[in-house]
Chains A and B, each alone.
Chain A
Amino acid sequence: MTTPAVKKIPRPIPTPNAYMNTAPFWDAARQRKLIVQQCPRTGKFQFFPRPGSVFTGRRDAVWTEVSGNGTLYSWTVTQSPWPGHEDRVPYVCALVELPEGIRILCNIFNAKTEDLRIGMPVKLYWEELEDGTLYPAFQPA
C-alpha cells in the first residue's frame, strides 16, 4: 500500500497591493532598498505600511529610504511551522528595531541561534524567494 502524496502548500509569496498601494515598497526592494512610510507632519515613521499616517489620520505619508541597520528586539526559534514553511524548520522569526523608531517582523540569516542576543546589531539581508521577489530579512552586523 502506498501512502497518498501530501499536497505541499508552497511558501507564501508576498502579494503586493493586497490591501493598499504597496508597489513602491516592492519596487524599492527589487533594487535592494528598504523604504518605510514617514509622516510629513510629525516626522515619525510607521511600519507595516498604512493607507495614511497613523499619527495624524492624514493620507500624506511618504516613502523614505532607511539604512536597515538595527538591533535584535526579540526572536523565536520556530519548530512548528506556518503552512508552507515546513522545509525551513527550524527557522528564526524575529522583531528587529530600526533607529527610525519602528520594528520589522523578519527572519534572521547567517547566525547560530545560540549566538543570538537581544540588543545585538543586525543589518539588512535580502532573501530571494522562489519567484525572485527580494524579501527583507536581517543578519548579524
Chain B
Amino acid sequence: MSKNKDIAIVSYGETKIALRTGRSAYDLASEVFEQILEKTGLEPKDIDGLAVSETMSETHNPFYSVYVAEMLGITPRWNQVTGLGGCSTIANVARAASAIRDGYCETVLVIAADAQSSMQTPVEQGAQRFEFQYPTGLKGPVGAFGLMTQRYRHLYQLKDEALAKLAVTQRNHALLNDNACEKLRKPITEQDYLNSKYVSEPLRMLDSVMVCDGANGVLVTSTENAKRLGLKKKIHPVAYSEISSYKSTEFTAEIIDTGFSVVGPDALRKAGMSVKDVRMLQAYDDFLIALMLVMEQVGFCGPGEASDFILSNDFSFNGNLPLNTGGGQISAGQAGLAGGGTNFVEAVRQMFEEGGTRQIPNPVNAMVTGIGMIPYGRNWGVSNVLILEQ
C-alpha cells in the first residue's frame, strides 16, 4: 500500500506545564506560536489556517477560535474549533489535512491551550448531570474510571505491579522532560504507587492525572509547500480514525469495551501497518487503566492480557515499545483540555530527533491516541488514533 505523504507537520511548540499559573489560554497559546515562528522563520502572514481545541478556561466564549486569531495576529481563510476533549488536537491535524487538500488554506496552526487549573469556578457541562449524576456524588472522571477498573478486575486479572510499572516508567520520563510540571518531577517507586491512597477505590491517586495549565501546537502544511518554504523537518500524518458515542444506544454494552476496538484496527489498516510495526506509543493517559484498555483494543495484546503484556515489554524511551516518553499527562501534568496535544507533540519532537536525553532511537513512526469526554454510565465519549511516519 502506498501511503499518502502529501501533508506534513513541519514544526511544534510547547509551554511548560504548570499548576495555577494565573495566565490565560491566549497567553499560553502565544508562547507556542512564537516558538513555531522562531523555529520555522515564518511570519504570522504565512499562516492562513487555524484549528484550535476547545478549552475549559475559555469555553464560555462562543467565538473563541476567532479571538485566538485576533490575539495572535493571523488572518485565517479556514478556522476550526474542535470540542472533542482530549481528542481535539489530533482530530484537528486530520481536519487541517482535509482543509489543505480541499484548497481552503495552505498552512494551518493547530493549537491547544488551557488554563484549567487557574479557573475560579468549574465549567458546568449540564444536561442530564444535574438530575442523574451530581446527586449520586460520582467523582467525575475519577469515579467513572473507578467503575471501569472494578469491572476490569471482575472480568480479567488486573495485576497491580503492571500498573505500578507504567506509573514508574512514565515518571522516569517526566524526570527527563523540562516541560513537565515541577511538582511531579520527583522519582517514584512501584511501592509508592501501591501505597498511593484510593480516590475512588479501586482507583488510586497515582492512577490519575493532575489538572494544570499549558499549551502546545504544531504547524501543518502540504509537503509541497514545506519544500517551497525550505522547511527541513517534516513528518507525515498517514492514517487517522475517530469515533464518538461508541455503543451509546446499547445500554448494557460492556463498559470496558471502548471505541478503540474500532479506531485502533481501522487506523492500522489505513496505515498498512500491524501493531508490531509501531515504533512508539504516545497514548492519551488520563488514568493508567485507560492505557491497558487501549493496548488491548488496538490489538497489542488480547482482551485481559494487558497486565502480562506490560510486564513483558519495556516501555522506556530506549525500550522495545517506548510509551509516553515525555511522562504522559499522568507524570507531566494535564494541561486541561490541551492535554490531548501533550503526548502528540512529544511524538513530533521524537520524530524530529529532538528528544534530547530521552531520544528514542530510530523514530520511524508513532501511534498517537486521544480520549475525550466522560459520558453517563459508559467509558468515554470519543476515541481517536493518528499514525505519523517519517
Give complex CA distance A40, B143 in Å. Answer: 33
User: Which residue of chain A has its CB nearest to the CB of B256?
Assistant: A74
For the complex formed, measure the closest distance between the CB of B65 and the CB atoms of chain A, giving whole angstroms: 26
Q: Determine if A15 is an interface residue (Cβ-Cβ < 8 Å).
A: yes
User: Which residue of chain B has its CB nearest to the CB of A45?
Assistant: B251
A118–B143 touching, CB < 8 Å: no
Q: Determine if B146 is an interface residue (Cβ-Cβ < 8 Å).
A: yes
Give complex CA distance A90, B248 in Å. Answer: 30
B135–A76 touching, CB < 8 Å: no
Known: A18-B131, A74-B150, A79-B197. A46 touches B136 (CB 8 A): no
Q: Determine if B67 is an interface residue (Cβ-Cβ < 8 Å).
A: no
* Interface 9-residue window, one of B2-10, B122-130, B156-164: B122-130
Kindly list chain A residues whose C-beta atoms are within 8 Å of the C-beta of B249.
Answer: 46, 54-55
A48–B200 touching, CB < 8 Å: no
Kindly list chain B residues whose C-beta atoms are within 8 Å of the C-beta of A46.
Answer: 249, 251
For the complex formed, measure the closest distance between the CB of B137 and the CB atoms of chain A, giving whole angstroms: 4
Give complex CA distance A15, B143 in Å. Answer: 22
B248–A12 touching, CB < 8 Å: no
Known: A105-B377, A135-B135. A12 touches B151 (CB 8 A): no
Kindly list chain A residues whose C-beta atoms are within 8 Å of the C-beta of B149.
Answer: 76
Give complex CA distance A15, B149 in Å. Answer: 30
- B131-159 CB mask vs A (1 if < 8 Å, else 0) is 11111111110110011111100100000
Q: Determine if A73 is an interface residue (Cβ-Cβ < 8 Å).
A: yes
Give complex CA distance A19, B146 in Å. Answer: 27
User: Which residue of chain A has its CB nearest to the CB of B149?
Assistant: A76
Residues of B bordering A, CB below 8 Å:
126-128, 130-140, 142-143, 146-151, 154, 197-203, 248-249, 251-252, 255, 376-377
